């Protein structure tokens, strides 16, 4: 099968090619070529920034009520085409059809939220904040009233740099709110699965988002560097690994941009002895192995308090053994392949490290029943692991779950807080007191109580902490509105 050339969409025009290397992507379930993504086409990046810049003044001056109209249509277009878009995501990413559909639905939530921009970006006024008597009128004459107000206005040209694991949803954390607030946008999707981002962007243009307002450029680090250092770019939103995010945060900030970087993670699930056993087993299994572990919210470390490991680990092994590992569009499939061969090699390497470091391999995903071709690794569980081991401390981004043991809740929280990350942490317990202590002491920004994945909600910020986030304002919710707008304060007196 021939690979599709991943094009750029600059002011609606499909531009292909560009100098430099091309990344050949495969369908991870079959190994067949699916796309060729250009890596260093800085000419296209330059054209995309210029298109966004020249569209900015008109778009920012368009009434916000008019700016959000295409978002209503976009939601309808996505809903009508959700199956074909999900099929494309499955083909180039590997996740299951249900996961792909779910991810588009979560993206639609963000579009619905952004469509509320007329209310969300409203400013505030405080009349009569002071009285001035220094000019025409004296104080006896009543002085002159001074009013103060703050407007929320767009920032300018915004850039979004996104990862491979949610190629349609993550861009929707960014551009719908950005353009609803009057900005123009350049999206740089992952070079690993570019086709569904292109399709979703074409649909946005079909819905009436002006073509120069939303541009898409393919590429790798060369293109990212061009964008984040560009004089005409005002804001950068990034989602991806901690290494890339920290670099992008520092570089873009040094070039005067406002920046938010949502980064990597190693997330913990604390299991108390009093937890509802069925809910804990189901929640941890879904969190660790959903999306083949390729989620920044994957609960990849379980901290078993007291004797909870005695029932949890056998329950997890039994549940994981039953997961059907197959191509994502296979009926009944519970887990698809990893996204590429590099990921498969990395995950197999992590399993070998866990064994070499002395963790107990309670379930070996290399022996799971699964297709022999493609990028498959089955669900894997390590038990009796210790902090300091690779499988406890490092993000593996694959279906590898590590179990550690703790004497008490305090001990468990201490272990969680040793992590350099802080994207999310969850607790399973029947005790309100334990849940409350967990909530007040754990160092992470997204918490779950009897919930395996405290998923990002469009109306709330996605609040990673520590090295899971660089910046100030997070994505989504009120933080997203504030990130894509700036304050303009006016102090006025009429003489």
Residues in touch with ligand NAD (CB under 6 A):
161-165, 170, 188, 190-191, 220-221, 224, 239-241, 244, 247-248, 262-265, 296, 395, 397, 423, 462, 464, 468
CA distances to 22, 23, 125, 218, 219 from 192, in Å: 11, 8, 47, 10, 10
List, in sequence order, every residue forming a beta bridge with 380; answer none if it has no partner: 400
Question: Nearest distance from residue 357's CB to ligand NAD, in Å?
Answer: 22
- 261 is known as an active-site residue: no
Provide the token pair at 459.
């109306």
Question: Nearest distance from residue 352's CB to ligand NAD, in Å?
Answer: 21
Q: Treating both helix axes as pointing N-terminal to C-terminal, what angle do 97-114 and 169-180 enclose, rounded to 10 degrees?
A: 10
- Nearest to ligand NAD of 162, 308 (CB atom): 162
For the range 248-256, what are the long-range contacts, defined as Cβ-Cβ under 8 Å and sequence gap of 24 or more? 248/161, 248/224, 249/470, 249/471, 251/225, 252/228, 255/228, 255/229, 255/230
- Nearest to ligand NAD of 59, 113 (CB atom): 113
Provide the token pair at 469.
């986030």
- Nearest to ligand NAD of 289, 397 (CB atom): 397
What's the half-sphere exposure (Cβ side, CA atoms, 13 Å) at 122? Answer: 7
Residue 347: closest CA among 338, 360, 356, 357: 338
What does the buried/exposed string (b/e) look like for 455-484 if buried means 16 or more CB atoms within 10 Å of the residue's CB?
Answer: ebebebbbbbbbbbbbbebbbbbebbbbbb
- Nearest to ligand NAD of 184, 190 (CB atom): 190
Tokens 């994502």 found at: 328
- Nearest to ligand NAD of 27, 339 (CB atom): 339
Question: Nearest distance from residue 211's CB to ligand NAD, in Å?
Answer: 22
Question: Nearest distance from residue 391's CB to ligand NAD, in Å?
Answer: 16
- Nearest-angstrom CA–CA distance, 168 and 184: 18
Q: End-to-end distance of the chain based on CA atoms, in angstroms?
A: 75
Asked if residue 371 lies in contact with residue 326, where contact means CB atoms within 8 angstroms, the answer is yes
Q: Which residue is nearest to ligand NAD (CB)?
A: 240
- Nearest-angstrom CA–CA distance, 434 and 371: 43
Question: Nearest distance from residue 321's CB to ligand NAD, in Å?
Answer: 26
- Nearest to ligand NAD of 59, 249 (CB atom): 249
- Nearest to ligand NAD of 240, 452 (CB atom): 240
- Nearest-angstrom CA–CA distance, 173 and 160: 9
Q: Are strands 144-154 and 157-161 parallel, antiparallel or unpaired?
A: unpaired
Sign of CA dihedral 464, 396, 92, 22: positive
Alpha helices in 339-445 (DSSP H): 341-356, 390-393, 409-417, 432-441
Of 158, 296, 333, 375, catalytic = 296
Question: Nearest distance from residue 331's CB to ligand NAD, in Å?
Answer: 28
Question: Nearest distance from residue 383's CB to ligand NAD, in Å?
Answer: 24
- Nearest to ligand NAD of 120, 228 (CB atom): 228
- Nearest to ligand NAD of 152, 268 (CB atom): 268
- Nearest-angstrom CA–CA distance, 154 and 174: 14
Q: Are strands 235-239 and 157-161 parallel, antiparallel or unpaired?
A: parallel
* Strands laid side by side in the 469-471 sheet: 13-15, 8-10, 214-216, 184-188, 157-161, 235-239, 258-262, 469-471
Residue 273: closest CA among 305, 316, 315, 312: 305
Question: Nearest distance from residue 342's CB to ligand NAD, in Å?
Answer: 9
DSSP class of residue 363 equals E
- Nearest to ligand NAD of 397, 483 (CB atom): 397
Phi then psi for residue 448, to 5 deg, are -125, 140
Identify each DSSP E strand in 325-431 by its residue range.
360-363, 380-383, 400-406, 424-428
Q: Which residues are catalytic?
A: 296
């Amino acid at each position: 099968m021939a690979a599709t050339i991943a094009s750029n969409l600059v002011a609606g025009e499909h531009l292909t090619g560009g100098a430099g290397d091309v990344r050949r992507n495969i369908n991870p379930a079959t190994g067949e070529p699916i796309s060729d993504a250009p890596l260093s086409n800085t000419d296209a990046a330059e054209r995309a920034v210029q298109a966004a810049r020249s569209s900015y003044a008109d778009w920012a001056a368009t009434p916000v009520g008019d700016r959000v109209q295409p978002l209503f249509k976009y939601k309808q277009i996505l809903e009508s085409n959700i199956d074909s878009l999900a099929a494309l995501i499955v083909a180039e990413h590997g996740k299951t059809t249900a996961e792909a559909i779910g991810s588009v639905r979560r993206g639609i939530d963000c579009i619905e939220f952004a469509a509320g921009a007329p209310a969300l970006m409203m400013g505030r006024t405080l009349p009569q904040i002071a009285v001035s008597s220094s000019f025409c009128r004296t104080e006896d004459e009543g002085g002159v009233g001074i009013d103060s107000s703050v407007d929320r206005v767009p920032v300018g040209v915004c850039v979004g740099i996104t990862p491979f694991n949610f190629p349609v949803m993550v861009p929707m954390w960014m551009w719908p709110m950005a353009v609803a607030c009057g900005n123009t946008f350049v999206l740089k999707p992952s070079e690993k699965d570019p086709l569904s981002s292109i399709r979703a962007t074409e649909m946005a243009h079909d819905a009436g988002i002006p073509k120069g307002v939303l541009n898409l450029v393919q590429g790798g680090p060369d293109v990212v560097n061009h964008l984040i250092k560009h004089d005409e770019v005002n804001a950068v939103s990034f989602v991806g690994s901690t290494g890339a995010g920290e670099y992008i945060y520092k570089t873009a900030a040094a070039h005067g941009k406002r920046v938010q970087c949502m980064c990597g993670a190693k997330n913990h699930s604390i299991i108390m002895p009093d937890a509802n056993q069925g809910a804990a087993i189901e929640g941890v299994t879904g969190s660790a192995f959903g999306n083949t572990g390729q989620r920044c919210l994957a609960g990849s470390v379980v901290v078993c308090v007291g004797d909870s490991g005695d029932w949890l680990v056998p329950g997890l092994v039994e549940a994981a053994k039953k997961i059907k590992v197959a191509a994502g569009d296979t009926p009944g499939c519970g887990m698809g392949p990893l996204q590429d061969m590099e990921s498969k090699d990395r995950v197999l390497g992590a399993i070998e490290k866990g064994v070499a470091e002395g963790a107990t391999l309670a379930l070996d995903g290399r022996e799971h029943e699964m297709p022999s071709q493609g990028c498959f690794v089955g669900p894997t569980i390590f038990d009796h692991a210790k902090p300091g081991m690779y499988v406890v401390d490092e993000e593996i981004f694959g279906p590898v779950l590590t179990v550690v043991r703790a004497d008490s809740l305090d001990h468990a929280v201490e272990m969680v807080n040793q992590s350099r990350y802080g994207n999310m942490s969850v607790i399973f317990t029947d005790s309100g007191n334990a849940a409350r202590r967990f909530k007040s002491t754990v160092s992470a920004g997204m918490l779950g109580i009897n919930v395996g994945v405290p998923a990002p909600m469009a109306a709330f910020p996605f609040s990673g902490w520590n090295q899971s986030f660089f910046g100030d304002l997070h994505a989504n919710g009120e933080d997203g509105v504030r990130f894509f707008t700036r304050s303009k304060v006016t102090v006025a007196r009429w003489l």
